[in-house]
Amino acid sequence: MPHSCSVLSCGNRFTVECRARGITFHRFPKNEVMRRKWERAVRRKGFTASSSSMLCSEHFRAEDFDRTGQTVRLREGTVPISRFKVPPKKGSLKPAATRMSRTSTKAREALPPPAVQSVPAVVPPVVPTVVPTVDHAYASTPEELRIKLSEALARVESLEREKRNAKDRERRARNTVSCLLEDLEVKKIMNEELKERLDIYADLPVHLLSKNSHEYTKEQRDFASTLHFHGPKAYDYLRECLHINLPHPNTLQRWMSSGEVKPVLNMTTLDSRGEEDDPAKYLGGLAAVQENMDLSQVNELPYEDFVKIFGNVVERCPIVAAAVCSQRPFADIDAFEATICDFIDALSEAGKEGILRCHPDLMGTLTQESVNEQANAGFGTLSSEEQASLSSWNEEYKERFGFPFIVCTGASDKAGVLQEMRVRMANGCTEERACAIEEVKKICRLRLRDLVHPDSKFEF
């Protein structure tokens, strides 16, 4: 992009030195009629002004400027002076030819030599030289000051150029991020949770979409893990379709296993997988395997298969399986179970309540695992009176505590479950939340032993 005067014979450029001399620069007007007048005044054959073409103030009259404000402006309807000094073309000026005929040679020889007038020499008076004395060691000569000023002006010009380039890069980066977000929304793979999580990275678009070295920055790692954790479809789309420089999911798992990144899990994420979801999505578990697996098989499962098989050991919370997948290999089934329990215990109270809300009501819309467990406890043979009573107890419990009644039906029977519900209704909210979390862990323990051989070990 040019930063100099458009007149060929003018050497003024848009620099600090020119502005220090009081020279201002003015872009060609947007009005077509005025723009044509300016172009004709420049008197350059075939010249057409661009949006960045400029003329300096030396090509206008003094009365053409409005200097009343802080910015020097041209008055409306001003046209530049058309009488510019056009530089001579190369080779256009030739020295006058000397005549070499016989007559002209004799005439030059006959001319007397020019008289030299003797002018008396004027001897200037002798003035004593005054040598300035420098009282201070830090005093500078005018030449040194001139050099320092030139260096300072050059530095200012360089910084201003860097500032312009940085603004251009920022504008391009923001436009790129805006287009990406709009594209995700159009394709309906940008949910509210993902929007909320990505808002904190809105001011880091350049660093998040480029890899300047062999290592990812902390902001890049946090962004990638958050995006993949809350929006895996959006992650795959940006990485595979738009070729955004995002790490491979296996790399994310390695970061999580080493503790370099830790995705945030909150109640909104867990609650979004509640009763409105299709239970068929959580039929992984028992429907995915026909017999108990060995720990070696569990530790070697691909990420997607691991989440599919163990996604319902915590009811309707495959996100828990996704989080503990990176903690492999597990030495035995107890270590597997302890990893899940530690993850649940590390959640905030809101996160734990989100897990509880993911559970269905007793005899509600159940996953296959819940159907089998409640059938073994005798809930498939409830009378109409028992169903009405259970429904009433469920509503009262939810109104009191804010989440469904949760009990490990696989370790009890129908009478024991109904009796425990009556007893736990007297608990306080904090006490009952802790009690319900323990029941979630019991359910997880039984479901793990249905999927993994309880005696299998893994040799490191």
Query: 178 and 145 in contact (C-beta within 8 Å)?
Result: no
Query: 425 and 400 in contact (C-beta within 8 Å)?
Result: yes
Q: Name the nearest CA neighbour of 26 among 36, 17, 38.
A: 38
Query: 229 and 326 in contact (C-beta within 8 Å)?
Result: no
Token reading at 126: 């002798």
90-111 as b/e, with b when 16 or more CB fall inside 10 Å? Answer: eeeeeeeeeeeeeeeeeeeeee
Question: In sequence order, what DSSP letters do the residues of 262-316 get, joined into one string?
Answer: -----HHHHHTTSTTS-GGGG-HHHHH-SSPBPHHHHHH--HHHHHHHHTTSSTT
Amino acid at 393: W
Q: Name the nearest CA neighbour of 299 among 327, 260, 318, 323.
A: 327
Helices (H), 23-141: 32-42, 102-110
Task: Decide: helix, strand or coil at residue 106.
Answer: helix
Strand extents, DSSP E, 28-185 = 54-56, 65-66, 73-74
Query: 198 and 244 in contact (C-beta within 8 Å)?
Result: no
**HSE-up (13 A, CA, CB side) for residue 152:** 7
Q: CA-to-CA distance for 438 and 290, rounded, in angstroms?
A: 28
Name the catalytic one among 59, 228, 230, 359: 359
For the question of residue 453 being annotated catalytic, the response is no
Query: 358 and 273 in contact (C-beta within 8 Å)?
Result: yes
Task: Decide: helix, strand or coil at residue 332.
Answer: strand
Q: CA-to-CA distance for 323 and 339, rounded, in angstroms?
A: 10
Q: CA-to-CA distance for 359 and 337, rounded, in angstroms?
A: 19
Catalytic positions: 359
